[in-house]
Amino acid sequence: LRLRPHGRDGALAVSLSEAARYYRETAHAWELQALIRARASAGSADLFARFYEQVRRRVYTHAGSVGQALRNVRLAKQKIDRQRGERERERGFNVKLGRGGVREIEFIAQALQLAHGANDPWLHAPHTLVSLGRLADRGHITERERTELSEAYHFLRAVEHRLQMEHGLQTHIVPDADARRTTLSRRMNFANDATTALADFDRALNSHASRVRAAYDRVFGESGEEDVASATQPGSPAHAQLPARDDTQTGEGDDPRSNLNAETAATSSFNAETAALSSLSDDELARRTLNPQRARAYVTRVITSIEKSEASVELSTENLDSLARICGASEYFGEMIASNPELIDALASREEVGARDFRAVLRAAVDRERNLRAELAALRRAWSRLIVQIGARDVAGEIDLAESNRLQTELAVASINAALLIARRELARRYGGFAAGPRASVLALGRLASGGMDYGSDLDIICIYDPRVPPPVSLLTREEFYARLCGLMTNALSSLTREGHLYRVDLRLRPDGKNGALASSSASFVEYVASRTQAWEWLAYVKLRAVGGDLELGRSVEASARRAVHEAARLCDPAELRGETRHVRERLERERATRASRTLDIKFGAGGMLDVYFAARYLQLRDDVRDEGADRSTFSTLARLRDAGSLDADAYHALQEGYSSLRALDHSLRLLVGRSSRLPAAPDHPLLHDLARALKFDSAAALLDALRARMTDIRSAYDRITESHR
C-alpha cells in the first residue's frame, strides 16, 4: 500500500475527492507516472473511471514540456538505481532493474507517453508492448526500436520467469556463477552442450540489454561513452561479452529478424517434442511466411505458452511450419494460438474443413457437458479449432475470399444455433423442464444476412418467437421467457471466458432499438416493420434473413417483413428515400471516418464499402428489386440491379470492381491485425507493406494509388445514384 497518497503517512483509504485533489495538486512526478498503468481491479469500476477521468489530464500535462517529462522519468530511474545500491548490483545482472533491463523498456515507453500524450490521447495505453507499437506508429520511436524493445521485453520476461520458477521466490538476478547460469541457459533451451549453451545465452542476454540501453540513451540523451565504460562493471549482463556499439547500431551480425533458432528457443524450455524447431533453417521458415519478423515473434510467444499449458502439445515439423506461416500472416491468429497453444493441432488437421457440418460439430461438443460453464467452454474450444482451420487454409491459399466468407458465415450460423441450444438447456435446468417446447427464431442482418462474415465481424441479429405457443415455463410470461432465452443465447456467443469469446452481438436493430424488448413476437415484429419503421431502418431490414432456431417460423416472418419493407419504400416519396439514404450515410462518414482524418478508412470513408452498401440498398428499395435465392451477397445484388436496369454499365463496373478491391483489402486487413477499417497514416508503415505483398502489389505506394482510384470511382457512382431524380 506504499503507493497510496502520502505514502506511509497517508490514510489506508481516502475519499474520491481527496485522492483526486492529491494527484492534481500534491503528487510527485513519479507518482503521476505510476498512474499510466492504473486500472480497476476490484470493487466499483465506475468509481475508478470517475477518479481516473479527474486525474488523467494531470498525468499527461504535469511536466509542461517534452524535455521536462523526459527529465522527470530519468530522475525516477536514477533514484531506483541508487536505492538498489552497489551491493545488490554486484550479485549479478538484474533483468528487471539493471542497465538494459525490463524497467528501462517500461520507462522508455512511459517517458514518451508523458512527453507526447497531452496532445495525443491514443498514446494513453497501460500495456508496455501496446505503448511501444503506438509510439512507433506515431514516429516517436523507430520501427527498429519497436522491434528490438519488444523482443527484448519478451526475452527478459522469460528469463525472469525461469529465475523465479527455480525457488518460487521473487528474484530478478541472473547468477554470476557459471554453473548456475548454465542451468538457466539450459532452461531457456539453448544448445545441449553446456559450454555452447552458456555462451549462446550470454550473447543473447547481452545483445538484448545492449539494444535496450541504446534506445534508452537516445530517448534520454545520456552519454554513450559512459554507458560502454560502465557496461564492463559487474552489474552489467555477462560484462565481458558486450557486443560492439557499431553492431548494435547497424544491425550487422545480429539482425533482429534472424536467429529464429536461438532466440525463439531462448524463450522456452519445452519438452523433446519441440526439437523440430531447431531442425528448421531460417531460410526455409522465412520463405513460407508473409512477415518473418512477425512469425518469429508470435512463434516465440506460442512456444513460451506451451510450457505453461498443462495439456500435451505436439510440435512436429509439419505443424511448426503451419504455425510459422499463420503467425507470419496474421496477428489475429497469432494472438489466438498464443493464448491457447492446443490449437496448434488444428493447423495441420487432415480433416477437410469445407466438408464438415459445423452445426453437428458444435452441438456434439455442447451435448457432452452438463452445466452452463462447461458448455460455454466446450463451444469455445470447438469453435476455435474450426476458425483456426479456416484461417490456416486461408493463409495457405487453399481457399479464396468467397470460400472463406462462406465458411465463416456457416460457422456463425452454427454458433448461433449452438448458443440457442445452450440457452434452452440452461433455462430447462433452472425451471425444471418446459411445459411446451419453445418456438423461437433468429433473424440476421448485415454481413451475416448477406453471407459475408469475416474475421472479427459482428453478429447483427433480431430474436423473434411464436406468440401462439403457450409459455414454456409457468413461472414466466411468454415475454419474460423469450427475453431470458435471447439474453442467455447472446451471452453464450459474446461473453469472454478463459477460453476466449466468439462474436460481438449487436441487437440494436431490433424494434425500438435499445429501448425495445430483447425478443419480439412474430406478429408484433411484422407489424412494427409494416407501420412504424423509418426509412433508415428499411436500408437494414431489406437484407433480413432467417438463420437460427425454428427456420419455418423465421422464413415466414422474413418473407412477411421484407414484403412490408418494399411496400413501405414503394409508397414513400422518392426524394425522401433518397434524402434519408444520403443523410444516414453522411452521418456515419462524419462520425466515424473523420475521427482520424489522416487515415484512410475503407469502410466509413468517402468511397468506402458503405457507399456500395447504401447505393445498392437504396436502388433495391427505389426500384423494388428483391434478394432471392441462396446468394444474397452484395456482388449478387449488384448483378440483379444491373439486370433490372437500375444500374448502368459504368456504375455497375465502378461499384462491382471497387467493392471487390475493398473486400479483398478488408479481408487481408482483418486477417493481419483483426477487425479494423483504417489503414495506417504513415505511407511506409510495415502493415501497408504486408498488405501490398498479400494483395500482389509491387509496393505500398502502388496499393494506395490503386485504392484511392477505386474509392474515387465508387464515390462518383454513389453520388450519381443518390443524387439522380429518376
| Contact status, residue 25 vs residue 82, Cβ threshold 8 Å | no
| Contact status, residue 185 vs residue 201, Cβ threshold 8 Å | yes
Q: Residue 328 — pLDDT band, cuts 50, 70, 90?
A: very high
Residue 83: predicted pLDDT: 63
Quick check: 499 pLDDT over 90?
Answer: no
For residue 498, give the 3-state DSSP assignment: coil
Q: If we measure between CA atoms, which residue out of 141, 147, 148, 130 comes closest to residue 208?
A: 148
Residue 621: predicted pLDDT: 97
C-alpha cell at 38: 492504473
Q: Residue 258 — pLDDT band, cuts 50, 70, 90?
A: very low
Quick check: 291 pLDDT over 50?
Answer: yes
Quick check: 232 pLDDT over 70?
Answer: no
Is this prediction's pTM over 0.85?
A: no
Buried b (16+ CB within 10 A) or exposed e, 639-665: ebbbeeebbeeebbebbbebbbbbbbb
Per residue, the 3-state secondary structure of 206-270, as one string, reads: HHHHHHHHHHHHHHHCCCHHHHHHHCCCCCCCCHHHCCCHHHHHHCCCCCCCCCHHHHHHHCCCC
| Contact status, residue 89 vs residue 173, Cβ threshold 8 Å | no
Buried b (16+ CB within 10 A) or exposed e, 446-455: bbbbbbbbbb
C-alpha cell at 419: 448458443
Task: Report the range of poorest mean pLDDT among 155-169, 363-377, 380-394, 515-529.
Answer: 155-169
Q: Residue 350 — pLDDT band, cuts 50, 70, 90?
A: low
Q: If we measure between CA atoms, which residue out of 245, 398, 220 comes closest to residue 325?
A: 398
Q: Which helix (H) or strand (E) holds 547?
A: strand 545-549
Q: Residue 272 — pLDDT band, cuts 50, 70, 90?
A: very low
* Average pLDDT of the segment spanning 215-230: 59
* Average pLDDT of the segment spanning 540-562: 97
Q: What is the mean pLDDT of the chain?
A: 85
| Contact status, residue 95 vs residue 102, Cβ threshold 8 Å | yes
Q: Residue 283 — pLDDT band, cuts 50, 70, 90?
A: very low
Residue 97: predicted pLDDT: 86
Quick check: 164 pLDDT over 90?
Answer: no
- Tell whether the torsion through CA atoms of 350, 351, 355 and 358 is positive or negative: negative
The pLDDT tens digits for 109-135 are 999 999 898 888 889 888 999 999 999
Quick check: 372 pLDDT over 90?
Answer: yes
Task: Report the range of poorest mean pLDDT among 18-32, 286-300, 388-402, 694-708.
Answer: 286-300
Select the highest-mean-pLDDT range: 166-175, 246-255, 322-331, 595-604.
322-331
Q: Residue 222 — pLDDT band, cuts 50, 70, 90?
A: very low
What is the C-alpha separation between 635 and 589, in angstroms, rounded?
A: 22
The pLDDT tens digits for 648-662 are 999 999 999 999 999
The pLDDT tens digits for 354-364 are 788 999 999 99
Residue 176: predicted pLDDT: 82
Residues 6 or more apart whose Cβ sits within 8 Å of residue 219: 70, 108, 111, 112, 141
The pLDDT tens digits for 689-722 are 999 999 999 999 999 999 999 999 999 999 999 9
Q: If we measure between CA atoms, which residue out of 439, 510, 505 comes closest to residue 472?
A: 439
- By CB atoms closer than 10 A (0-12, 13-18, 19+), residue 192 is exposed
| Contact status, residue 610 vs residue 588, Cβ threshold 8 Å | yes
* Average pLDDT of the segment spanning 549-555: 97
What is the C-alpha separation between 348 and 344, in angstroms, rounded?
A: 8
* Average pLDDT of the segment spanning 584-605: 81
- Higher-pLDDT residue of 298, 602: 602
What is the C-alpha separation between 438 and 418, in angstroms, rounded?
A: 15
What is the C-alpha separation between 161 and 179, in angstroms, rounded?
A: 19
* Average pLDDT of the segment spanning 505-533: 95
Quick check: 245 pLDDT over 60?
Answer: no
| For helices 194-220 and 102-116, angle between their N-to-C axes, nearest 10 degrees | 20
Quick check: 520 pLDDT over 80?
Answer: yes
Q: Report the Cα 599 to chain-centroid distance in Å.
A: 19
| Contact status, residue 455 vs residue 524, Cβ threshold 8 Å | no
Q: Residue 598 — pLDDT band, cuts 50, 70, 90?
A: low
Quick check: 243 pLDDT over 80?
Answer: no
Quick check: 167 pLDDT over 70?
Answer: no
Sole residue written with cell 511466411: 289
Select the highest-mean-pLDDT range: 155-169, 228-242, 642-656.
642-656
* Average pLDDT of the segment spanning 28-49: 91
Residue 261: predicted pLDDT: 35
Look up residue 463 and give its DSSP letter.
E
DSSP string of 649-672, one letter each residue = HHHHHHHHHHHHHHHHHHHHHHHH
